[in-house]
Structure 1
Amino acid sequence: MRLQGKVALVTGSGQGIGRAIAVRLAQDGARVVVEDCSDNAAAEQTLAAVRQVGSSGCVIAGDVGDAQIDRRVIEQSVAAMGRVDILVNNAGIEKRAPFVEVTEADYDAVMGVNLRGAFFMTQAFVRHVRERGDGGVVVNVSSVHEELPFPHFASYAASKGGLKMLMRDLAIELAPLGIRVNNIAPGAVQTPINAALMAQPEKLKALLANIPLKRLGTPEDVANAAAFLASDEAAYVTGTTLFVDGGLLWNYAEQ
């Protein structure tokens, strides 16, 4: 129970990778704040899964793209749980379009959730940790596309590239506060965001040919990495990206 006594806040944890991380941290003893864009059935299902493995928590809803809501989410989390020790910035969206057809609305939506949300949620978390004075952990769920080009997803790639540099910068700036900051960069993972891909056998076959381990990742693969980075076993790890991609990044060739 390496996270016993800790409280973790996981954004976008109503499904997919976020849910798997919430449950994995709970298995290690953390109490969990399940954050999602709305207090919906999916978020409640995640909370039920957290309780099923013997932990406890609460659901707090809010659009992470709104800085004022980010501050409220941290405040409500502290009010409900007493403190927050671990922040997992998992919430993320993508919009497919040729670069010349990307709309301002879609650009703003992607950057708002993926980068602005992580920025201001972390800021609110750091202010809380600074008041406590006993350190904390930030884990951002980034993507292989913080390094790997992603044609027709320019805003997504830009947001993840920005998240890489934000992580590196904050790892240095926040170290005196005892706050570690790292990214996890998943490759192709079996989640709802990839449902269309998994339903197209030829495209899936081509993708698997680029993955040395010859399989898609699972949400649990990513969650295991998050549990490590959140724990004291990673006490000397900050300012880095842990790729969870089956070897995809260094073997990828655009078809």
Structure 2
Amino acid sequence: MSLLSTVAAFSLQGKKALVTGSSGGIGKGIAQTLVDRGAQVVIHYNERKAEAMEFQQQLGKKKCLGAIHCDFRDPTSKLVRFMEQVNELCGGELDILVNNAGVITKLALEDDTDDLSFWHDTMAVNLHAPNLLSKVFVNRFSTSLMSSDVTTRGVIINVSSIHGERSNEYMGAYAASKAALDSLTRTMAIEYAPYRVRVNAISPGVVPVERSQAAFSDPIIMGQWCDRLALQRVGTVQEVAEACIPLIENDWITGSIWQVDGGMMARANMPLRDRPPALRPE
């Protein structure tokens, strides 16, 4: 059976999932994909309440267990309370945590405030929140260690970025937060394995979402990006969301960071060149 047919056939019937930052963009796409596979989801939002309520209504009560607001820059106690609310909606049976919520900070390092407020906000949302939410999530399973013949009890998916591996100017805080999230993903995978909780990450490349649709509607901008991609096109939210399914399904994948980037990171940032002539034997 091919990977695509396996993904299509895989069912999450009876599973309950939290997808943070799911009022739009990649988070919404992941939540929709999980629902399409039979899961029930909890939506999280910060600023986009109207969009979250619309998505909740679209999914319906049977598929969406609720929509909860939380600003991940808030004190730790509020994030813990947020997870308590999620567990209440799930009846204490949350199976899948997708740490998708994030902020993209585009700012020169020297232009941050003297107290590094933008840096700290970026780390709070992109790194500290996934760490804390995952810790609370795993607490459900940590009352007893499981024997080696028991398969997965819980799954965590961290949504990282290609900026975690290689970035560019004016993305310092964002790139640092995602590089740290990649490292945290591997550590979580090791430390949570005894509880049969698997932890992986997806690392999306160039994927237009609501906030960037206007820019990518410009053929010049689209062309500039596509020239950097092996597949010569940008990705879709659906393609990124679908990458989560094998990571949820396969009980032997943990500690992995999957690039979903159209081949962007496979190539060094060198000038494009013509194809050299084929070498022919003398």
Q: Name the TM-score, length of structure 1 as normaliser.
A: 0.91
Report runs of 4+ in structure 1 exceeding 4 Å deviation. 131-134
Structure 2 counterpart of 1:236, from 235, 252, 270: 252
CA displacement at 1:126 relative to structure 2: 1.2
CA 108–193 in structure 1, closer or farther in 2 if over 3 Å, else same: farther
257, 263, 277: which one aligns with 1:247:
263
- Does 1:114 find its partner at 2:126? yes
Corresponding residue number in structure 1 for 2:148: none
Quote the sequence identity (%). 35
Counterpart selection for 1:26 from 31, 35, 55? 35
Shift of 1:132: 8.3
In the TM superposition, what is the alpha-carbon distance from 1:195 to its structure 2 partner? Answer: 3.8
Unmatched 5+ residue regions in structure 1? none
**Structure 1 position 200, deviation (Å):** 4.5
- 3-state secondary structure, aligned to 2:180: helix
Question: 1:188 is paired with a residue of what secondary structure?
Answer: coil
From 73, 76, 82, the counterpart of 1:73: 82
Total equivalences in the alignment: 252
Counterparts in 2 of 1:73 and 1:16: CA distance versus 1, 3 Å: same
Select the structure that is richer in helix: 1
Unaligned runs of 5+ in 2: 1-9, 146-151, 272-282
CA distance in 2, matches of 1:99, 1:196: 27
Which amino acid counterpart does residue 69 of structure 1 have in structure 2? K
Residue by residue over 1:97-146, the C-alpha shift from the partner in whole angstroms, topping out at 9 and shown as x without a partner, is 22222331211111111011111111111112324877200000000111
- The whole-number CA distance in structure 1 between the counterparts of 2:85 and 2:48 is 14
Matched, 1:144 2:162: yes
Is 1:203 aligned to 2:221, yes or no? yes
- The structure whose Rg is larger is 2
Q: Which position in structure 1 is the counterpart of 2:179?
A: 161
Secondary structure of the residue aligned to 2:259 is: strand
Q: Distance in 2 between matches of 1:19 and 1:163?
A: 21
Instruction: State the superposition RMSD in angstroms.
Output: 2.1
Alignment deviations for residues 159-199 of structure 1 (CA, whole Å, 9 cap, x no partner)? 00000000000100100000000000000001134346415
With structure 2 as the length reference, what TM-score do the two structures score? 0.83
The residue aligned with 1:57 is 65
Q: CA deviation at 1:39?
A: 7.3
Cα deviations across residues 62-93 of structure 1 (Å, max 9, x unaligned)?
Answer: 11233222211221111112121100000011
